């Protein structure tokens, strides 16, 4: 087959099936998908734990696709081989990925920013029926204190160290969870997915989000004073 024919076929494949998903991944430090407002995050394109050159961090947030360090209309700044976002705001919530000059992309990572005084951390992987899952209530200053946990607005228990474990998870444990460290210190509600079948990405659906899967909060834009 002639070279021109091969190029044409590859070009059609990109048009039909989209950019190639590469072994390169987006590494976030701190390694979370939910951040407090004004926290900083360091994003790096890596492969097998090593930084790769020639890849750029991009995102889609607020309906716009932007490049890290790309200019005034973009986001973050380049420091060495990493993309630094020195202060996160609610508008920084979106999907992030690495992209090569040839158009290859890594798997997308959902990053959400909360304005609440505490956050509820859920497992990144799906929770399987029969397993144990630990919910963690994180404060802005990182202090460890008694936290109270609710499912679908019903109290389910507390943890002295800010943690609560659900043992032998069942399908009925699926739902919206939240935690508090005081009367006015509530986290946003977050969805816990339970599966008994093949692995699938745990998702939290927000009707105000841009569609797609990911870690979204039900109450991202609700003031704490509403409670």
Q: Is residue 215 part of a domain?
A: no
Residues 138 and 178 occupy one common structural domain: yes
Query: What is the domain range of residue 19?
Result: 3-113
User: What one-character DSSP code corresponds to residue 86?
Assistant: S
Residues 106 and 126 occupy one common structural domain: no
- pLDDT recorded at residue 142: 77
Residues 108 and 181 occupy one common structural domain: no
Residues 7 and 106 occupy one common structural domain: yes
pLDDT, mean over the chain:
80
- Summarize pLDDT for 169-214 with one digit per residue, the tens: 999 999 999 999 876 789 999 999 999 854 444 444 333 333 333 3
Residues 57 and 25 occupy one common structural domain: yes
We report the CATH number of the domain holding residue 78 as 2.60.40.10
Cα diameter, the chain? 71
Query: What is the arithmetic mean of pLDDT over 100-129?
Result: 90
- Summarize pLDDT for 13-69 with one digit per residue, the tens: 333 334 656 699 999 999 888 999 999 999 999 999 899 999 999 999 999 999 999
Residues 78 and 154 occupy one common structural domain: no
CA distance 24 to 148: 39
Neighbouring C-beta atoms of residue 223, cutoff 10 Å: 9
Angle of CA points 167, 176, 136, to nearest 5°:
55
For the record, the structure tokens of 118 come out as 């505490």
For the record, the structure tokens of 179 come out as 């935690």
Q: Is residue 219 part of a domain?
A: no
- pLDDT recorded at residue 21: 65
Q: Is residue 218 part of a domain?
A: no
Q: Is 155 helix (H, G, I), strand (E, B) or coil?
A: strand
11 CB-side CA count, 13 A: 6
Is the Cβ–Cβ distance between 201 and 191 less than 8 Å?
no
Q: Is residue 138 part of a domain?
A: yes
**Total number of domains in the chain:** 2
Residues 65 and 120 occupy one common structural domain: no
- Summarize pLDDT for 182-191 with one digit per residue, the tens: 767 899 999 9
Q: Is the pLDDT of residue 123 over 50?
A: yes
Q: State which of 94, 113, 132 marks the end of a domain.
A: 113
Task: Select the more confidently predicted residue: 71 or 134.
Answer: 134
- Summarize pLDDT for 7-27 with one digit per residue, the tens: 333 343 333 334 656 699 999
- pLDDT recorded at residue 75: 97
Q: Is the pLDDT of residue 223 over 80?
A: no
Environment class of 161 (CB within 10 Å of its CB; exposed 0-12, middle 13-18, buried 19+): exposed
Output the CA torsion sign for 210, 216, 219, 221: negative
Q: Is residue 227 part of a domain?
A: no
CA distance 167 to 160: 17
Residues 82 and 96 occupy one common structural domain: yes
Residues 73 and 142 occupy one common structural domain: no
Q: Is 22 helix (H, G, I), strand (E, B) or coil?
A: coil
Is the Cβ–Cβ distance between 104 and 26 less than 8 Å?
no
Q: State which of 113, 143, 160 marks the end of a domain.
A: 113
SS (H, E, C) 28-72: EECCCCEEECCCCEEEEEEECCEECCCEEEEEEECCEEEEECCCC
- Banded model confidence at residue 143, pLDDT cuts 50, 70, 90: confident
Residues 139 and 175 occupy one common structural domain: yes
Q: What is this structure's pTM?
A: 0.70
- pLDDT recorded at residue 221: 31
Residues 103 and 130 occupy one common structural domain: no
Q: State which of 113, 139, 163 marks the end of a domain.
A: 113
- pLDDT recorded at residue 32: 86
Q: Is the pLDDT of residue 4 over 80?
A: no
Residues 160 and 92 occupy one common structural domain: no
Q: Is residue 224 part of a domain?
A: no
């Amino acid at each position: 087959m002639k070279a021109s024919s091969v190029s044409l076929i590859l070009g059609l494949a990109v048009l039909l099936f989209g950019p190639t998903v590469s072994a390169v991944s987006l590494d976030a430090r701190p390694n979370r998908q939910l951040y407090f407002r004004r926290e900083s995050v360091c994003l790096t394109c890596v492969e097998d734990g090593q930084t790769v050159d020639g890849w750029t961090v991009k995102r889609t947030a607020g309906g716009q696709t932007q490049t890290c360090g790309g200019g005034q209309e973009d986001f973050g700044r380049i420091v060495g081989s990493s993309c630094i976002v020195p202060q996160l705001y609610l508008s920084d919530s979106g999907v992030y990925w690495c992209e090569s000059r040839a158009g290859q992309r890594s798997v997308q990572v959902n990053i959400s920013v909360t304005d609440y005084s505490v956050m509820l951390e859920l497992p990144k992987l799906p929770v399987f029926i029969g397993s144990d899952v630990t919910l963690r209530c994180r404060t802005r200053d990182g202090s460890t204190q008694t936290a109270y946990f609710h499912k679908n607005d019903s109290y389910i228990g507390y943890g002295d160290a800010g943690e609560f474990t659900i043992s032998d998870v069942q399908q009925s444990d699926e739902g919206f969870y939240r935690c508090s460290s005081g009367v006015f210190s509530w986290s946003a509600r977050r969805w816990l997915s339970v599966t008994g079948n093949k692995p699938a990405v745990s998702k939290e659906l927000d009707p105000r989000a841009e569609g797609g899967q990911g870690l979204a909060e039900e109450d991202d834009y609700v003031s704490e004073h509403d409670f």
